[in-house]
Amino acid sequence: MSQPATAMSGYELNLEEYWQVIVRRRWIIVFCAVSIGLFSALFTWANQPPALYSSTASIKIEPSLNIADFFMRGGSSQSFNDMTTQLVLIQSYALMERVAQRLGMIPAALTSEEIRANPDYVDAVLDLKDSVDAEQDGDTGIINISVVSGNANYAKDLAQAVADEFQTFNVEEKNKKVFEAKKFIQQQLIVVGDRLKKAEERVRDYRQKNHLSSSSSSDAVAKIVADLQQEYRQAIAHLSDLQFTLKELRLRVQRGGWDYKAVSVPGNVGAYFDQLNKRLVEMALKRTELSTNYTDAHPQIQELRLQAEDILGSMVDELAKQVTLTQRRMQDIQEAVNGAERKYQGVPEQALELQRLQRSVNSNEELFGLLEKKYQEVLIKESEKVQEVSLVRPAMLSRVRINPIKVPQTAMAGLILGLVLGLIVALILESMDTSVGTIEEVENFLEVPVIGFVPHLSHEEAVELFSGEEGLETSGSAMERQLRLVSHFSPPSTIAEAYRSLRTNLLFSQAGENRVILVTSSTVKEGKSTIAANLAVVIAQQGARVLLIDADMRKPMLHHTFGVKRVPGLGEVLLGQQHWQDAVSRFSDVMLGDMGIDQALMTPGLDQLDILTCGQVNANPPDLLGSPLMSTILDEAREEYDMVILDMPPLLHTTDATVIASKVDGVLLVYHIGSVVRGALKRVKANIENVGGKVLGVALNGVRGDLSPDYSNYKMDHHYAYAYGENE
């Protein structure tokens, strides 16, 4: 795909290029907008909810309170007309039964018990209950009764029926209470009247039979005895309190100390004792005030202590005196009781019985009078007939559904969403379309040559490739190593041929000058480590001595690729713990490692390859790689080896490669097709050149035959496509 000239000279899209993207991808944008808008409209129309209509009837509740109401509620402080109670009553099962009968859903002649015995009738009542909603209108006495239904007429009829039935129900409830109260009082008047009449007759008959005229003398004697006995019991309780307090006070005096608490005695013990108590409290407050400035040994505090002890002693004496006086008073009361009882014994037994009968008459007279008073109140209430519930607004028939279909709004929202989504898809496709799918575009865009490309190899085709080779695995970690070193394990393959082509182009680009080469990429998983390893192998297969250095201290891979130990390696060398030649892994180490002797000897050339692994991972790789020791290692390796290849971390994520780019002869930039946008490639090349490095060229990885005409004929005996970068 061709790119604007501005895209070739820079790596940021400007407004003109954004417009070009929109024009170029216009059919995608139009398709997204139309399809999503149309889908939204059709979906809304197909899934429209059933039409719902609402109708509301409003009622006003005016509480009515009087004496009769209070009596009928038994003196309860909870108002019958509490709004919360009314809301519950409106939606109650009992009221819904009446509404169902009013609407003809249930026969009107059935009783509540008969309705509840029929499950179908119960379900009908419960359905009505779920359809009705009652809500208070703010803080007013108005309640709005609302019904929502798919039938507008039904919603109106039901709301009006609930309002009407609640009015009737309220009136009936009020009259019912009055009637029940009146009936109850009438029955009680008859019962109590008969009881009073019989009690009076018994008094009359008893007096006539025993020739008694009055019971005043016996009443007086009985009252005197009862009063004296009550006074004696009170004196006993007071004496007990005095004796207990006296005992506690004496123990308090014996303990001594600084106890100024007031002495509490139930009942009256005299003004003098109260005065002593008051002085004791005042001394406690004064001692607290002095304690803030003085210790307990101070003369003023000692003086307070002596005064407190004197007061407590006086209180003991006063309480002892009160005990003696109370005991004498009890003796006097007991003597008076004995005298009254002797006098009481002289009252005839007939007089005592007459007194008991008279008390029964008095009790019934009092109860009968109370009932007559309440009966008059009920009669007044019955005559009032107050209507507490009135209709404020009748239910009206609604022609407008409360859930309208919003197809135009939904379609417009879908159209806008489709436009936005179309723009996003267009930009995503544009960003994914790196357009460096042809060699010419890569070379024109980066202004460096493409010196090689490696085809993709699918997993299935990799299995097919190795299944025909003796000693090779087709699964597990062994197969992963074979894929990473395909130039060693399968030299005749297309992949190995691609590496040999890369070797040839690299060696002859500037013959004899590029002896130390840095291999890096823009980002992770582009296959740089795999290309570095295979490039080292194919150069060694020519007979040249090659040193492969794993300088990727972020994510080292070469020790896994060749099956050797990671430590010791470059990290130990740069820390001065070991000389670099002693840390190099040679052919013998490869044979003794995970690869084994048979696989190491499968193809000649590994004996010419030495490997300097990463070693221990350091917290700050750029400082180590930029040290003078690293320059020394490269200079010495340049003299000892025909070719030195360094595997470095990606440039977009770290600065490791830029630190060392100026110390090598050239940089080989690995680019996996479609992994990064054009701007990233441009930034990577600029970063290398800014530090004095030289980009020798680009190695394209993951090339497919269908990506560009440049690669459509790049096939030999197999059509392979393996993404080396996926497991890097």
| Least confidently predicted of 107-116, 124-133, 225-234, 656-665 | 225-234
Look at residue 231 in the predicted model and tell me its pLDDT: 78
**What average pLDDT does the segment 259-268 reach?**
62
- Model confidence band, residue 690 (pLDDT cutoffs 50, 70, 90): very high
The string of pLDDT tens digits covering residues 319-350 is 888 888 888 888 888 888 777 766 655 556 66
- Model confidence band, residue 521 (pLDDT cutoffs 50, 70, 90): very high
Tell how strand 516-521 and strand 450-455 pair up. Answer: unpaired
Look at residue 78 in the predicted model and tell me its pLDDT: 43
Residue 53 has pLDDT above 60, yes or no: yes
- Model confidence band, residue 699 (pLDDT cutoffs 50, 70, 90): very high
Q: How far apart are CA 692 and CA 663, in angstroms?
A: 9
Residue 725 has pLDDT above 50, yes or no: no
Beta-bridge mates of residue 319: none
Q: How far apart are CA 534 and CA 484, in angstroms?
A: 8
Q: How far apart are CA 294 and CA 301, in angstroms?
A: 8
The string of pLDDT tens digits covering residues 496-510 is 999 999 999 988 876
Look at residue 262 in the predicted model and tell me its pLDDT: 60
Residue 488 has pLDDT above 90, yes or no: no
Residue 82 has pLDDT above 90, yes or no: no
Q: How far apart are CA 29 and CA 422, in angstroms?
A: 4
- Model confidence band, residue 352 (pLDDT cutoffs 50, 70, 90): low
Residue 398 has pLDDT above 60, yes or no: yes
Structure tokens at 98: 């009446």
Q: What is the DSSP letter of 492?
A: T
46, with CB counted inside 10 A (0-12, 13-18, 19+), is: exposed
Cα torsion 528, 533, 539, 542: sign: negative
Between the two ends of the chain, the Cα-to-Cα distance in Å is: 30
Residue 356 has pLDDT above 80, yes or no: no
The string of pLDDT tens digits covering residues 184-232 is 888 888 988 898 888 888 878 887 877 665 545 555 666 676 677 777 7
Residue 34 has pLDDT above 80, yes or no: yes
Look at residue 286 in the predicted model and tell me its pLDDT: 83
Look at residue 722 in the predicted model and tell me its pLDDT: 35
Residue 30 has pLDDT above 70, yes or no: yes
How much is the mean pLDDT over the chain? 80
Look at residue 288 in the predicted model and tell me its pLDDT: 79
Q: How far apart are CA 620 and CA 613, in angstroms?
A: 17
Beta strands in 22-176 (DSSP E): 53-61, 132-136, 142-149
- Model confidence band, residue 689 (pLDDT cutoffs 50, 70, 90): very high
- Model confidence band, residue 77 (pLDDT cutoffs 50, 70, 90): very low
Look at residue 618 in the predicted model and tell me its pLDDT: 78
Contacting residues for 553 by C-beta, under 8 A, at least 6 apart: 570, 571, 614, 617, 618, 621, 624, 625, 649, 656
Around Cβ 545, how many Cβ atoms within 10 Å?
15
Q: How far apart are CA 407 and CA 386, in angstroms?
A: 53
- Model confidence band, residue 661 (pLDDT cutoffs 50, 70, 90): very high
Residue 458 has pLDDT above 50, yes or no: yes
Q: How far apart are CA 376 and CA 71, in angstroms?
A: 12
Residue 3 has pLDDT above 50, yes or no: no
Q: How far apart are CA 478 and CA 482, in angstroms?
A: 6
Beta strands in 594-642 (DSSP E): 609-612
SS3 291: helix
Torsion angle of the four alpha carbons 160, 164, 165, 168, in this order, in degrees rounded to the nearest 10: 180
Nearest to 49, CA basis, from 154, 196, 148: 148
The string of pLDDT tens digits covering residues 146-164 is 988 888 898 888 889 998 8
Phi, psi angles (nearest 5°) of residue 133: -130, 130
Q: How far apart are CA 209 and CA 446, in angstroms?
A: 142
**What average pLDDT does the segment 655-659 reach?**
91
Nearest to 98, CA basis, from 128, 131, 136: 128
| Least confidently predicted of 373-377, 463-467, 594-598, 684-688 | 463-467
How many residues are there in the chain?
A: 728
Structure tokens at 103: 């609407």
Tell how strand 132-136 and strand 142-149 pair up. Answer: antiparallel
What interhelical angle do 528-540 and 494-509 show, nearest 10?
A: 80
Residue 721 has pLDDT above 50, yes or no: no
Residue 411 has pLDDT above 50, yes or no: yes
Structure tokens at 515: 């002896």
| Least confidently predicted of 170-179, 374-383, 519-528, 587-596 | 170-179
Look at residue 1 in the predicted model and tell me its pLDDT: 41
| pTM of the complete model | 0.45
The string of pLDDT tens digits covering residues 232-249 is 777 787 787 787 787 877
In 3-state terms the chain splits into helix, strand, coil percentages (rounded to 5) of 60, 10, 30
SS3 647: strand
Write out 524-582 in H/E/C secondary structure.
CCCCHHHHHHHHHHHHHCCCCCEEEEECCCCCCCHHHHHCCCCCCCHHHHHCCCCCHHH
| Least confidently predicted of 9-13, 120-124, 540-544 | 9-13
Look at residue 6 in the predicted model and tell me its pLDDT: 37
Look at residue 401 in the predicted model and tell me its pLDDT: 80
Residue 64 has pLDDT above 90, yes or no: no
Look at residue 669 in the predicted model and tell me its pLDDT: 94
Q: Sheet holding 609-612: strands in order across?
A: 450-455, 695-703, 666-672, 516-521, 643-647, 546-550, 609-612
